[in-house]
Structure 1
Amino acid sequence: MATPVVTKTAWKLQEIVAHASNVSSLVLGKGSGRLLATGGDDCRVNLWSVNKPNCIMSLTGHTSPVESVRLNTPEELIVAGSQSGSIRVWDLEAAKILRTLMGHKANICSLDFHPYGEFVASGSQDTNIKLWDIRRKGCVFRYKGHTQAVRCLRFSPDGKWLASAADDHSVKLWDLTAGKMMSEFLGHTGPVSVVEFHPNEYLLASGSSDRTIRFWDLEKFQVVSCIEGEPGPVRSILFNPDGCCLYSGCQDSLRVYGWEPERCFDVVLVNWGKVADLTTCNNQLIGVSFAQSNVSSYVVDLNRVTRSGTVVQDPVQDSRPLAQPTLSGPTIRRGYERPATACSKPQRVKQNSESERRSPSSEDDRDERESRAEIQNADDYNEIFQPKNNISRTPPQRSEPFPAPPEDDLAIAKEALKPSQAMDVQLPLPNRGSSDFVPRLPVATSTPMPKAEPAVIPATRNEPIGLKASDFLPAVKMPNQSEMVDEDAMSQIRKGHDTMCVVLTSRHKNLDTVRAVWTTGDIKGPRAGHSPSPRRSLWKLDLCTTVLPQIEKLLQSKYESYVQTGCTSLKLILQRFLPLITDILAAPPSVGVDITREERLHKCRLCYKQLKNISHLIKNKSGLSGRHGSAFRELHLLMAPLD
C-alpha cells in the first residue's frame, strides 16, 4: 500500500535581502496577493514578486527613511510616506513618479487608497489625517481629533467612510462627504495599531497593543464583542474574503476568530515572528515579516484551517472523529452599497490626442523626461505591469496556489498521520462558544536566495505644493496654489528647533561643569562632624553660575522639599561668595593685562546678575508666614549688600 503524501498546513516560502539598510515598512498587494512592496532606511521603495528572489524595480525620490507604503487594489499605483512627512505616488506601469504631496509636519505612519476614487488618505505622527486628491495634487480635507500618532487608516468597502486608529487608544469613523467625525469608539486600554472593515457588513475590527481585538457595529456604533487573551500586541488582522472569520497574525501563530459570539476556531503555529501584513490568494493566506534588512514570507493553507465553525476534512485523516459543524445564520447587519463602476486611475501625462497634451514645461512632463527605468527582470515586469494587445491590465491572478514543500521528516509524517485530539481554546471571554481546533506544527524550510542588486528606477520628485481645502466629491477647479520648494519646506520644519539647541547647549555646559568638579574628588563626601552635604572647598564661581538658575527654579516650586533645598543652597552661596563678588566688582580697574582677573570679573558679573534676579523673588516671598517666610526674610537680609 502506498504511503499517503503529507501536506503541510504552514510553511516558509522565502527570505530575501530587501534593502541595503534596515527595512522600515512593507505591504502586500491585496488584489493578487503576489506583489510585495518594501520601504527602507535607504529612502527607497522596492517592489518584489512573492516567491521570486529578484527585485522588480526600485523607486527613488524620498530623502528620508520610508515609514509607510501602500498599493492600490489594481496594483498599478503605489504611495509611500517618509519620516520627513512627504508623500510620493508612483505609477508602476509607466515606472515613474506621479505625484509629490507635502503638508504633514512629522512621520507618515499610515496610508490607504480610496477603493473607487482617485484619493489617498494619510495619517501622521503630527496627529492629523489628510485626504489627498491625486489628480489635483491637493489636500481635500484635514481631519483633526486624535491626540497622538495615527497608526492605521482604512477606507470602507463602499468608499464613504474612513476609519482611523491611533496611539491615543481610540478608533474614529469619519464621513468623507460631510468631512466630519461620525463616531468615536473607546474601549481599548492601549495604542490601537490596526483597523479593518468587514468586506460585506457594517462591522469594524480593531487590534491594539492591549492584546485585544474589538468588533464594532457601524449601525448602532457600539461594541459587538471583544477577543481577549492574544499572546502579544495585535499588529495585523484580516477578514476572510467572504467575511466568515477574522485572521489575527500573532507572534509565531495564526489565530482564527469569530465574533458573534466571540470564539477561536483554530490556531496554526507559524514561525513568522512579528508578522507585518496579511493577505489571501487562492485559498491560501500569505504573511510577511521583516527583521533588519531581511523580509520573509509564509503561507498557510486555508483548506486545512477551521473557519466559521466548519470542520476541515483532512484527506490523510478521514478516519478521525469530526466535530459537529456550527451553522451560521443570515447577517444581522446592513451590507455596503458599492458603486456600479469604479473611477479610473489618474491619467498619465502622455495622451494620444494632441489636444490633451500638456506643454513641455509642465511638472509632469519634466518628471517624465528626467525619469529613467532600468528593468532587471523584464519578464516579471512585463508579466505584471504591461497590458497585452492594448487591453487594460488586470491584477496578476494565478490559478495555481503556492506549492507546499515536500515532507522530508518521516517521524513528523507519521505523527501527522495519527488522529489528533480535539482541544478547546481557552479564551477569558464571557459566553464563549466552544469550538475545536487541531494544533499543527509548522515545518518551515528556508531556501537560501541569491542576493541580487535591485533594478533601480530613479524617479524625479515633483515640487511640493501648498494645499487648500475643497469639497470631496465635486470635481471643482482648484484655485492657483502657491508652490513651495524643498528648502522652504525644510526651513518650516526646522522652526522651533533653535530653542531646543540652546537648551541642549546649556545642558552640555552644565554637565561639563559637574564632570570637572566630580574629577577633583568625592562631591558628596561628608565633612568631619557635619551631616553629608557638598564640600565647601568644591564650591567655585563656575559652579555658582551653573547652580544659581536652578536655585531660582527651586524657590518657585510648589514642593516644600524643593523650596527648602533652594533656600539652603542660596544661603551657602551668599555666605561664601557674596563678599567676594561685591569686593571684586567694587575694585578699581587693573593696569595692564591680567587674563585671570578678567575671567574672575566676568564670572562675578554673571553671578551678580543672577543674584539680582533672585533678590526680587526673595523680596516678594519674604512676607510669607511660617517656616519658609522666615527663611526668605533671612535671605533678604543676606542679600542686602546687592542693593
Structure 2
Amino acid sequence: MATPVVTKTAWKLQEIVAHASNVSSLVLGKGSGRLLATGGDDCRVNLWSINKPNCIMSLTGHTSPVESVRLNTPEELIVAGSQSGSIRVWDLEAAKILRTLMGHKANICSLDFHPYGEFVASGSQDTNIKLWDIRRKGCVFRYRGHSQAVRCLRFSPDGKWLASAADDHTVKLWDLTAGKMMSEFPGHAGPVNVVEFHPNEYLLASGSSDRTIRFWDLEKFQVVSCIEGEPGPVRSILFNPDGCCLYSGCQDSLRVYGWEPERCFDVVLVNWGKVADLAICNNQLIGVAFSQSNVSSYVVDLTRVTRTGMVAQDPVQDSLPLAQQPPLPTAPLRRIYERPSTTCSKPQRVKQNSESERRSPSSEDDRDERESRAEIQNAEDYNEIFQPKNSISRTPPRRSEPFPAPPEDDTATAKEAAKPSPAMDTQFPVPNLEVLSWPQVITSTPVPKAEPAIIPAARNEPIGLKASDFLPAVKIPQQTELVDEDAMSQIRKGHDTMCVVLTSRHKNLDTVRAMWTTGDIKTSVDSAVAINDLSVVVDLLNIVNQKASLWKLDLCTTILPQIEKLLQSKYESYVQTGCTSLKLILQRFLPLITDILAAPPSVGVDISREERLHKCRLCYKQLKSISGLVKSKSGLSGRHGSAFRELHLLMASLD
C-alpha cells in the first residue's frame, strides 16, 4: 500500500543577512505579499524579493537608524522614518528620492500611506501624529491627543478615518476631513502595539502588550469582544481578505480568531520567534521576523488552516476536510465601507495653509535629497519586479503562484494544533468535527447611539482640505485622445525607469573602462565585480573572451564565482557568456591546475610557487562547485544543453 503524501502546513522560506548592522524595522508589501523592505541601524533601507537572497535596491540618505518603513499598496512608493525624526519617500519605479519631510522632534514609530490621496501619516515618540502631502513636501495637519509614543497608524479602507495606537494604552479614531478625534477606545492594560481595520465592515482590531486583542464597533464606538490568553505581547495581526477571521502572529505560532463570539478557530505551530509582519498572497500567509542583522521569512498554507465555524447539517460538507468546509452564511452585523469603484487619479492640489508649517523647500532639504540615493543592487530582480511587462500595466511575476512547500520530513509536524490552556478552553474552545454548529445571531432594531465625545485636534478645521482629497476621484469617460494620452503616460513612465537603469549601467561601465585604460586587466575585472551588477560583468567578459591571451590564473579566481551566477541566470545571453568563459578557462588552465596540485611538495621556500599553488587550489575548489551545476544542466535540450554537455566532458578530470 502506497504511503499517502503529507504536505506541510507551515515552513521556513529563507533566512538572509539584511544589513551590515542590526535590523531595526521591516514591512511586507500588502499588495503582492512578495516584497520586503527592511530598515537598519546602518541608516539604510533595503528592498528584497521575499523568496530571493539578493538585495534588489538599497536606499540611502538617512543619517540615523531607520525606525519605521511602509510600502504603499501598489508597491511603487516606500516611506521610511528615522530615529532623528526625519522622513524620506522614495519612488521605486523611478529609483530615486521623492521627498524629504522634516518636522517631528523624536523617533518615527509608525507610518502609513493613504489608500487614495497622496498623503502619508506619521506617528512619533514626540506623541504627535502628522499628515503629510507628499506632492509638495508639506505637513497638512497635526493631530494631538496621545500622551506617549504613537506605535501604529492605519487609514480606514474608505480613506476617511485614521486609527492610532500608542504606549498610553489607548486607541484613537480621527476624522481626517473634520480634523477631530471621533472616539477614544480605552480598555487595554498595556501599550497598544498594532491596529487593523476590518476590510469590509465598520470594525477595528487592536493588539496590546497586555496579551489581549480587542475588537471595536465603529458605529456604536464600543468594544465587541476581547480575546485574552495570548502567549506574549501582540505585535502583528491581520484580517483575512474576506474578513472571515483575524490572524495573530504569536511567539512561535499562528492563531486564528473569530470575534462574535470570541473564539479560537485554529493554532498552527510556526518556529518564527517574534514575527514582525504578516501578509497574504495566493491563499498563503507570509510572516517575517528579524533578529540582529538576520531576517527570516515563513509560509503558512491557509488551505490547511481552519478559518471559521462549521455547519453540521449537510453530510456532504461533513465529509470534506476541515479547511475546505464552507463558512456559516450570515449577513454583516454592521455597516460596510463605501468605496467608489472608480479609477484613482491624483487629487487636486491643496492650497498652502498655516498648518503646513509655512515653509518652502530649503537648500538644506535640496541637499538632503541630493545626498539620498536609490542604488539598484540587482538589476535582474529590479527589472523583473518594477519594469512594466507591457506599455499599459505592470504585472510582476512575483504575484504568479504560491510558494511550494519543501518535502515533508516529519508527518507528525505537518499540522500541529497546539493544545489550548485550561483558561482558553473555557473562553474560546477550538472547534472540532463533532461541534459544528453556531447559533445564528438575530439582529434587532438598532438603538439610537449616543454621540461620542468630540475632542478637537490642533485646529478646529484643517484649512485647505476637503473630503474629496481623501477619496478616489471619479474618472469621467474621456475621448479617445485622452485614453491615448494615458497610454503614452504609462509608456513614458516605463521609459524613465529604463533610462535610470541604463544610465546606472553606463556609469558603471565608464568606471571599469577607466581602470582598463591603465593596462591593469585584473584591477578592471575586480572593479566590475565590486559594482555587483552582472550586466557589467557580462559586457566585460564578452571583450575578454575575444582574446585568450588576456586570461591569467589570478583572473580565473575572480571570474569563476561570477560565472557560477551567470550559468544560473534566466537571461540566455548571460548563460551563453558564462559557458564561453568557462570553456576558455577549462581548456587553458585545467591541465595546469591538475598538474600543479598533483606535483610532489617542493623542498625549501619558493614563494612564487606557493602563491601559484594557492591560486590553483582556489580555482579547483570553485570549479568543483560549478561542476555540480553543469552536470545538472547537461540534460537540457537545445543549444544550451549541448554547451553544458561539452563543459561536463571537459570537467570530467575533476572527478
TM-score bracket relative to the smaller structure: 0.5 to 0.7
Counterparts of 1:588 and 1:21 in 2: how far apart (Å)?
A: 46
Partner of 1:527: none
Structure 2 vs 1, CA of residues 282 and 572 (structure 1 numbering), >3 Å: closer, same or farther? closer
- Return 315-324 or 247-256, whichever deviates more: 315-324
- Return 552-561 or 285-294, whichever deviates more: 552-561
Offset from partner CA, 1:357-379 (integer Å, 9 cap, x none) = 99999999998987765533222
Counterparts of 2:546 and 2:632 in 1: how far apart (Å)?
A: 29
Is it true that 1:546 corresponds to 2:558 in the alignment? yes
Structure 2 vs 1, CA of residues 382 and 560 (structure 1 numbering), >3 Å: closer, same or farther? closer
Offset from partner CA, 1:202-247 (integer Å, 9 cap, x none) = 0000000011000000001000000011111000000000000000
**Is this contact kept in 1: 2:199–2:241, CA < 8 A?**
yes
Equivalent position SS for 1:419: coil
Q: CA deviation at 1:309?
A: 1.3
**Is this contact kept in 1: 2:23–2:38, CA < 8 A?**
yes
Residue identity over aligned pairs, in percent, reads 90
**Is this contact kept in 1: 2:279–2:286, CA < 8 A?**
yes
Q: CA deviation at 1:389?
A: 3.3
Query: RCO (CA 8 Å, sep 6+): is it higher in 1 or 2?
Result: 1
Q: CA deviation at 1:120?
A: 0.1
Q: CA deviation at 1:77?
A: 0.1
Give the structure-1-normalised TM-score: 0.61
**Is this contact kept in 2: 1:116–1:343, CA < 8 A?**
yes
Equivalent position SS for 1:100: strand
Structure 2 vs 1, CA of residues 344 and 5 (structure 1 numbering), >3 Å: closer, same or farther? same
- Return 616-625 or 5-14, whichever deviates more: 616-625
Structure 1 residues not aligned, in runs of 5+: 525-532
Q: CA deviation at 1:108?
A: 0.2
Counterparts of 2:79 and 2:51 in 1: how far apart (Å)?
A: 23
Partner of 2:404: 403
Structure 2 vs 1, CA of residues 241 and 122 (structure 1 numbering), >3 Å: closer, same or farther? same
Counterparts of 1:618 and 1:17 in 2: how far apart (Å)?
A: 28
Offset from partner CA, 1:185-206 (integer Å, 9 cap, x none) = 0111110000000000000000
Counterparts of 1:622 and 1:49 in 2: how far apart (Å)?
A: 29
**Is this contact kept in 2: 1:21–1:292, CA < 8 A?**
yes
Counterparts of 2:596 and 2:404 in 1: how far apart (Å)?
A: 89
Offset from partner CA, 1:250-296 (integer Å, 9 cap, x none) = 00000000000000000000000000000100000000000000000
- Return 587-596 or 82-91, whichever deviates more: 587-596
**Is this contact kept in 2: 1:140–1:471, CA < 8 A?**
no
Offset from partner CA, 1:86-117 (integer Å, 9 cap, x none) = 00000000111000000000000000000000
Structure 2 vs 1, CA of residues 260 and 523 (structure 1 numbering), >3 Å: closer, same or farther? farther
**Is this contact kept in 1: 2:61–2:373, CA < 8 A?**
no
Counterparts of 1:297 and 1:16 in 2: how far apart (Å)?
A: 9
Structure 2 vs 1, CA of residues 605 and 149 (structure 1 numbering), >3 Å: closer, same or farther? farther
Q: CA deviation at 1:439?
A: 21
Structure 2 vs 1, CA of residues 592 and 268 (structure 1 numbering), >3 Å: closer, same or farther? closer
Q: CA deviation at 1:146?
A: 0.2
Equivalent position SS for 2:367: helix
Equivalent position SS for 1:287: strand
Q: CA deviation at 1:506?
A: 54
Q: CA deviation at 1:338?
A: 1.0
Q: CA deviation at 1:136?
A: 1.2
Structure 2 vs 1, CA of residues 638 and 145 (structure 1 numbering), >3 Å: closer, same or farther? farther
**Is this contact kept in 1: 2:140–2:355, CA < 8 A?**
no
Structure 2 vs 1, CA of residues 385 and 317 (structure 1 numbering), >3 Å: closer, same or farther? same
**Is this contact kept in 2: 1:422–1:437, CA < 8 A?**
no
Q: Choose 1 or 2 for highest CA Rg.
A: 1
Q: CA deviation at 1:560?
A: 87
Counterparts of 1:389 and 1:634 in 2: how far apart (Å)?
A: 37
**Is this contact kept in 2: 1:55–1:452, CA < 8 A?**
no
- Return 350-359 or 188-197, whichever deviates more: 350-359
Offset from partner CA, 1:20-71 (integer Å, 9 cap, x none) = 0000000000000000000000000000000100000000000000000000
Structure 2 vs 1, CA of residues 443 and 498 (structure 1 numbering), >3 Å: closer, same or farther? same
**Is this contact kept in 2: 1:464–1:485, CA < 8 A?**
no
Structure 2 vs 1, CA of residues 604 and 419 (structure 1 numbering), >3 Å: closer, same or farther? closer
Q: CA deviation at 1:592?
A: 77
Structure 2 vs 1, CA of residues 617 and 484 (structure 1 numbering), >3 Å: closer, same or farther? farther
Equivalent position SS for 1:42: coil
- Return 487-496 or 324-333, whichever deviates more: 487-496
Structure 2 vs 1, CA of residues 345 and 510 (structure 1 numbering), >3 Å: closer, same or farther? closer
**Is this contact kept in 1: 2:236–2:276, CA < 8 A?**
yes
**Is this contact kept in 2: 1:32–1:395, CA < 8 A?**
no
Q: CA deviation at 1:380?
A: 1.1
**Is this contact kept in 1: 2:11–2:300, CA < 8 A?**
yes
Equivalent position SS for 2:244: coil
Structure 2 vs 1, CA of residues 410 and 345 (structure 1 numbering), >3 Å: closer, same or farther? same
Q: CA deviation at 1:517?
A: 66
Q: CA deviation at 1:514?
A: 63
**Is this contact kept in 2: 1:238–1:248, CA < 8 A?**
yes
**Is this contact kept in 1: 2:30–2:73, CA < 8 A?**
yes
Q: CA deviation at 1:390?
A: 2.5
- Return 295-304 or 587-596, whichever deviates more: 587-596
Offset from partner CA, 1:158-187 (integer Å, 9 cap, x none) = 000000000000000000000110000011
Equivalent position SS for 1:496: helix
Equivalent position SS for 1:230: coil
**Is this contact kept in 2: 1:551–1:566, CA < 8 A?**
yes
Q: CA deviation at 1:627?
A: 105
Q: CA deviation at 1:631?
A: 103
- Return 354-363 or 55-64, whichever deviates more: 354-363
Structure 2 vs 1, CA of residues 312 and 341 (structure 1 numbering), >3 Å: closer, same or farther? farther
Structure 2 vs 1, CA of residues 203 and 562 (structure 1 numbering), >3 Å: closer, same or farther? same
**Is this contact kept in 2: 1:25–1:69, CA < 8 A?**
yes
**Is this contact kept in 1: 2:269–2:417, CA < 8 A?**
no
Counterparts of 1:197 and 1:236 in 2: how far apart (Å)?
A: 13
Counterparts of 2:35 and 2:649 in 1: how far apart (Å)?
A: 79
Counterparts of 1:321 and 1:470 in 2: how far apart (Å)?
A: 47
Counterparts of 1:244 and 1:171 in 2: how far apart (Å)?
A: 23
Counterparts of 1:216 and 1:13 in 2: how far apart (Å)?
A: 34
- Return 504-513 or 88-97, whichever deviates more: 504-513
**Is this contact kept in 2: 1:270–1:442, CA < 8 A?**
no
Give the structure-2-normalised TM-score: 0.60
**Is this contact kept in 2: 1:136–1:478, CA < 8 A?**
no
Counterparts of 1:2 and 1:587 in 2: how far apart (Å)?
A: 54
Aligned residue runs from structure 1 range 254-293, under 5 A = 254-293=254-293
Structure 2 vs 1, CA of residues 600 and 500 (structure 1 numbering), >3 Å: closer, same or farther? farther
Counterparts of 1:593 and 1:34 in 2: how far apart (Å)?
A: 56
Return the structure number with greater helix share.
2
Structure 2 vs 1, CA of residues 362 and 299 (structure 1 numbering), >3 Å: closer, same or farther? same
